[in-house]
Amino acid sequence: MDYFEIIGQNTLKGEIEISGSKNAVLPLIAASILNENSLQKFTNVPLLSDTITIIKLLEKMGASVSENENSISIDNSKLNIPFAPYELVKTMRASFYVLGPLIAKFGEARISDPGGCAWGPRPIDFHIKGLKLLGVNFKRDHGYLNATTKRLTGSTISFPKISVGATGNVVMAAVLAKGTTRIYNASSEPEIQQLCNYLNIMGAQISGIGTNEIVIEGVKSLSTNKSIKIIPDRIEAGTFLIAAAAVGGEVQLNNIAIEHLSTVIDKLRQTNVLIETNSSSIRIKSNPNILNAVDLETNEYPGFPTDLQAQWMSLMSVINGNSNLKENIYFDRFTHVPELNRLGCKITLDKNNAKIRGKSNLSGAQIMSTDIRASAALIIAALCAEGLTRIDRIYHIDRGYYKIENKLSKIGANIVRKKT
């Protein structure tokens, strides 16, 4: 099993190319099931382990997928098995995205309950309730969900809480439903925006994209032969911005969408970091000794992303002052805290609130990853720590960051991947 060895306290300097978005490419690949055209090409694809998992899932269903550098071509003309097995779904919750398009295309689907990261339950109730309102019947059986419908029919769906996954699944089913579907409290995340735009390119009629009210007029079929470029990964970009702020130095990120990072940039500027932007790149200059702590709450887009909460804790641990962090999306998303404290961070928890004492002197230790974003937080803390840190179970980081050690090494980090 792979692990990282990191020797900290090296200033970061140089340029990093940001990859395509993991959280965008997964629903887009699932949505390609709906494309009646025999071939679909996606570019700027991050070939992460999660991307490979969903590709394998489509291949299990009968698709043919070819890879070429950072692009993939999908031929779904022989995809005819609406079944998502446990051995693939258990490794990645986003595999559940295939439910909506499968039920829309075939009128049935059998899919395992999802797995994914190790922190806390993230129920699929919103997915199921939304699809039920469109006319889908569900039956549980031996760890699987059997979904069937005679005819999808438009409906009004109001989510009690914004859910990215549920919004995506319901949208992908509703595009082929008879009549009009209105989704209230829908996700407005950039990844959902790209999904809706892709569906419209195929001929769907979706309005309200980027707002919390999405309206879908059902159509009979979808088809396109256009190549789709995956949007830049705002979470990867935010991770590197926070890393540069915490460790110190001058780093430029290329291939980014500034508009997707406005909240993160604003928060970083409040700490006294210097940030310069243009249309597709961002430069950050940081001296951690003059940075000040800033309180934070995570929220749905355009709020501060929960996927950058753990990384922010690492930054707050090494700069001046004390801070409070409130997690509003996933109340139990704190498995990284004990591991950060092993490095010398001083973080205490009270339900979904964390208190962070700044200017901690971190020192290397053996620690382990618990999920994708926790892994990124541990790397940032290790880069700030004195001496050697070993991070085990880094297969988590490979699910969300493409060759992160190569990108960090390029800008001066002392990080090496090793095998046990």
CA–CA distances in Å: residue 266 to residues 115, 275, 290, 296, 334:
34, 9, 17, 11, 24
Given 117, 196, 345, 384, the catalytic residue = 117
CB-count burial class (<10 Å; 0-12, 13-18, 19+) for 75: middle
DSSP 201: H
Q: Rounded distance, CA 97 to CA 398, Å?
A: 20
Cα gap 356→376, rounded to integer Å:
18
Q: Which structure tokens are listed for 297? A: 């709450």
Q: Using alpha carbons, list the distances in angstroms from residue 137 to 33, 110, 149, 383.
A: 21, 12, 6, 50
Do 274 and 265 form a contact (C-beta atoms < 8 A)?
no
Cα–Cα distance between 190 and 202 in angstroms, integer?
19
Task: Report the C-alpha gap between 370 and 118 in whole angstroms.
Answer: 6
117 in active site: yes
Three-class secondary structure of residue 89 per DSSP: helix
What does the DSSP assignment read for 222-269?
A: B-----EEPPB-HHHHHHHHHHHHHH-EEEEEES--GGGSHHHHHHHH
Tokens of 12: 């970061």
364, β-bridge pairs? none
In this structure, are strands 228-229 and 40-43 parallel, antiparallel, or unpaired? parallel
Within 13 Å of residue 246, how many CA atoms lie on the same side as its CB?
A: 32
Distance CA 15, CA 394 (A): 24
Widest pairwise Cα distance in the chain: 64
Q: Which residues of 286-303 are buried (b: 16+ CB within 10 A; e: fewer)?
A: bebeebebbebebbbbee
- The set of catalytic residues is 117
